[in-house]
């Protein structure tokens, strides 16, 4: 029996469990002061609660409580008791959208359900709130059958770095089948929610999610590499415009998706009104290429069925270039690129101030906190890292090398580099020097490791290619993800799958993320 049953949490009496997920448990409870039933979501924590987490929780809970939209489940109250943070919401007892995903739904009915949810998300996005965990189980139904979106901000509350952009300290939190490729690396913005809502629309129309596998790591591999299975495979009479909308919402490259939720809403409304939408469909992929294959040598697979250089145009339209103008177009393009680069270099030179110092604080796993100063490099001059004058802890005081200048405009490595990572399999290498900012995450039995280095991404990539080969890992595939300035290597060995994800050019750092799972 659940130990929470019959207990009180603040003024609320716990009655029975309603559901449990990877991040929280939901209970039905009774509020005696207002004589009503409520739903309490208790955020799952491990061990002692970090005070910073509670501060972040309170801040996010207040932001969520301010949202007032007919299709968003209201946050009524929040609190913390005995290390258990919780949110209080209205009790809705009319089921979720998940129960309707077992069978295919007519596209107009599916869009009719998705539109109110999209409107709720647009409302939240205008207030700089990203949902991050959109799925059928988080879409409830009110008394009148209206969809109500729940669990706003839960994923962000559990994100240790509380930033929308890449932090380099952990993989994104969400539900694997609905996560956009960039979310696995901790990146989430409005387009991430568009992708997840597009997956839900796909599932309602076809009766299944597009990417299915036994482990989160295998789902990630499919999300990044596999072309989207055409919805018309499952629904042959699906209109072209509906399929085109789904393809655009689920583009792997965020820059090719709908850029705002309002754009997505307009496209869906256009379909319901019988208007033509102006998106091209990707080329039909042969069945044998529709799934990830194991090959003897690495293969480079595009990150999206849409080419980044393609401009969406009406289906069936053609463009024939004027060959007489082609040399002039190429010459003009080259001149324009050179001019842009020159402007950027000049602007950067004028803006750079070598006397200004950046002073980031790096929190290190199992290593004392270290303050470092990064000297902003002049053009053509070297750069170095100098530790601030402060007493060193016992952890970092012994046998640490003195920082030295380099001949390249790259910062010298920090003093926090680690050579081993707890729980990392012995046959997976650790890149050194690194910044020691290691985070380990476990999700459904899959280990996920994340850390960063000041070394160039090409050096990191070469290191892992060589070391993994020496440790007898077989390359399954190589994926270039230009939108994220990243590359992902997929490996297999024995009954295990490993993925090495290297993202360069992120504030002078290269981020490394490794996912290991048993098949």
pLDDT at 126 over 70: yes
We find that the CATH architecture of domain 411-518 is: 2-Layer Sandwich (3.30)
What's the pLDDT tens digit per position in 306-342?
Answer: 333 332 333 333 334 444 444 444 445 544 444 444 4
The residues with which 26 forms a beta bridge, in sequence order, are 19, 41
Highest mean pLDDT among 206-210, 283-287, 471-475: 206-210
What local confidence, expressed as pLDDT, does residue 519 receive? 62
Residue 143 or residue 416, greater confidence: 143
Q: Where are the domains of the chain?
A: 8-90, 97-283, 411-518
Q: Say if residue 81's pLDDT is above 90.
A: no
Show the 3-state SS of 223-259.
HHHCCCCCHHHCCCCCCHHHHHHHHHHCCCCHHHCCC
pLDDT of residue 470: 93
Residue 87: per-residue pLDDT? 92
Stronger pLDDT, 169 or 255, i.e. the higher one:
255
Give the model's confidence band at 444: pLDDT under 50 very low, under 70 low, under 90 confident, else very high.
low
pLDDT at residue 111 tops 90: yes
Q: Chain centroid to CA 388: how far?
A: 34
Pick the catalytic residue: 16, 48, 80, 143? Answer: 143
CB atoms under 10 Å from CB of 285, counted, come to 15
pLDDT band per the 50, 70, 90 thresholds, residue 263: very high
pLDDT of the residue at 371: 33
User: pLDDT value at position 217?
Assistant: 77
Determine what percent of the chain is predicted with pLDDT higher than 70.
66
Looking at every residue in the chain, the average pLDDT score rounds to 73
What pLDDT, on the 0 to 100 scale, is given for residue 445? 62
The string of pLDDT tens digits covering residues 398-428 is: 444 444 433 344 444 445 889 989 889 999 9
Residue 19: beta bridge partners? 26
- For the residues of 125-188, what is the DSSP string, one character each? HTTT-------GGGEEE-TTS-EEE--TTHHHHT-TT--SS--SSSPPPS-GGG--GGGGGT--
pLDDT of 474 strictly over 70: yes
How confident is the model over 384-401, as a mean pLDDT? Answer: 40
Q: Quick one: pLDDT at residue 158?
A: 53
Residue 264's φ and ψ, nearest 5 degrees, are -65, -45
**Site of tokens 């591999």:** 221
CA distance 171 to 169: 7
CATH number of 8-90: 3.30.200.20
Confidence band, pLDDT 50/70/90 cuts, at residue 36: very high
Q: How many CB atoms are located within 10 Å of the residue 354 CB?
A: 12
Q: What is the mean pLDDT of residues 114-143?
A: 93
The C-alpha atoms of residue 365 and residue 435 are separated, in whole angstroms, by: 10
Q: Which two tokens stand for residue 223?
A: 């999300």
CA 121/CA 197 separation, integer angstroms: 10
Among residues 428, 466, 433, the alpha carbon closest in space to that of 451 is found at 433
Q: Looking at residue 314, what is its pLDDT?
A: 34
The pLDDT of residue 448 is above 60: yes
Residue 190 Ramachandran class (φ > 0 left, ψ -120 to 50 alpha, else beta): alpha
> Average pLDDT in the 121-129 region?
92
Q: What is the pLDDT of residue 1?
A: 54
Residue 143 annotated among the catalytic residues of the structure:
yes
Those residues with Cβ within 8 angstroms of residue 358's Cβ, 6 or more apart along the chain or in another chain: 373, 374, 376
Q: What average pLDDT does the segment 124-132 reach?
A: 90
C-alpha to C-alpha distance for 391 and 63, rounded to whole angstroms = 40
Rounded CA separation 22/49 (Å): 17
Q: Please give the distance of CA 309 from its chain centroid, rounded to a whole number.
A: 23
Report the C-alpha gap between 58 and 61 in whole angstroms: 5
Quote the pLDDT of residue 406: 38
pLDDT for 487 equals 84
Q: Which two tokens stand for residue 497?
A: 């799958």
Q: How many CB atoms lie within 10 A of CB 423?
A: 9
41-45, 127-131, 244-248, 512-516 — which is least confidently predicted?
41-45
In the predicted structure, residue 396 carries a pLDDT above the cut 80? no
Same CATH fold assignment for domains 8-90 and 411-518: no
Which strand (E) or helix (H) includes residue 441?
A: strand 439-443
Distance CA 211, CA 220 (A): 9
- Residue 153 confidence (pLDDT): 62
DSSP string, 371-428: EEEEEPPPTTS---EEE-SSPPPHHHHSSPPPP---SSSSPPPPTT--S--TT--TTS
**Alpha-carbon 90 to chain mean position:** 29
Q: Which fold has domain 97-283?
A: Transferase(Phosphotransferase); domain 1 (1.10.510)
Whether the per-residue pLDDT at 120 is higher than 90: the answer is yes
Q: What is the reported pTM?
A: 0.61
């Amino acid at each position: 029996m659940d130990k929470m049953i019959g207990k009180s949490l603040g003024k609320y009496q716990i009655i029975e469990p309603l559901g449990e997920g990877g991040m929280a448990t939901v209970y039905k409870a009774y509020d005696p002061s207002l004589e009503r039933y409520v739903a309490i979501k208790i955020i799952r924590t491990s061990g002692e609660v970090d005070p910073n987490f509670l501060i972040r929780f309170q801040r996010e809970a207040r932001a969520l409580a301010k949202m007032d939209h007919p299709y968003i489940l209201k946050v009524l109250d929040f609190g913390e008791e005995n290390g258990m943070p919780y949110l209080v919401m209205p009790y809705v007892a009319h089921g979720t959208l998940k129960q309707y995903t077992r069978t295919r739904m007519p596209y107009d009915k599916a869009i009719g359900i998705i539109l109110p949810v999209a409107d709720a998300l647009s409302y939240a996005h205008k207030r700089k709130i990203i949902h991050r965990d959109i799925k059928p189980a988080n879409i409830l139904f009110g008394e009148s059958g209206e969809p109500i979106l729940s669990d706003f901000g839960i994923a962000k509350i559990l994100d240790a770095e509380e930033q929308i952009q890449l932090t380099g300290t952990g993989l994104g939190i969400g539900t694997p089948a609905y996560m956009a490729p960039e979310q696995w690396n901790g990146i989430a913005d409005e387009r991430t929610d568009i992708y997840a809502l597009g997956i839900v629309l796909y599932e309602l129309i076809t009766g299944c999610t597009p990417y299915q596998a036994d482990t989160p790591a295998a789902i990630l591999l499919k999300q990044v590499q596999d072309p989207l299975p055409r919805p018309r495979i499952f629904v042959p009479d699906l209109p072209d415009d509906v399929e085109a909308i789904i393809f655009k919402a689920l583009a792997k490259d965020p820059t090719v998706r709908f850029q705002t939720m309002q754009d997505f809403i307009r496209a869906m409304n256009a379909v319901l009104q019988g208007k033509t939408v102006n998106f091209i469909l990707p080329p039909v992929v042969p069945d044998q290429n529709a799934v990830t294959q194991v090959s003897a040598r690495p293969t480079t697979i595009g990150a999206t069925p849409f080419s980044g250089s393609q401009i969406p145009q009406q289906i069936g339209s053609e463009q024939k270039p004027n060959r007489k103008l082609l040399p002039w177009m190429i010459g003009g393009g080259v001149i324009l690129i050179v001019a842009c680069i020159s402007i950027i270099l000049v602007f950067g030179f004028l803006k750079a101030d070598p006397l200004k110092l950046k002073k980031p604080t790096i929190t290190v796993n199992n290593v004392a906190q270290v303050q470092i100063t990064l000297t902003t490099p002049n053009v053509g001059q070297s750069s170095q890292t100098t530790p601030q004058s402060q007493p060193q802890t016992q952890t970092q005081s012994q046998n640490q090398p003195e920082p030295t200048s380099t001949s390249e405009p790259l910062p010298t490595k920090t003093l926090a580099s680690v050579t081993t990572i707890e729980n990392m399999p012995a046959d997976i290498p650790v890149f050194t020097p690194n910044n020691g900012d290691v985070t380990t995450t476990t999700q459904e039995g899959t280990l996920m490791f994340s850390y960063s280095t000041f070394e160039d991404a090409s050096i990191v990539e070469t290191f892992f290619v060589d070391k993994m080969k020496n440790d007898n890992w077989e390359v399954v595939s190589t994926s270039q993800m230009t939108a994220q300035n990243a590359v992902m290597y997929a490996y297999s060995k024995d009954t295990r799958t490993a993925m090495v994800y290297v993202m360069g050019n992120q504030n002078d750092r290269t981020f490394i993320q490794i996912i290991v799972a048993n098949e």
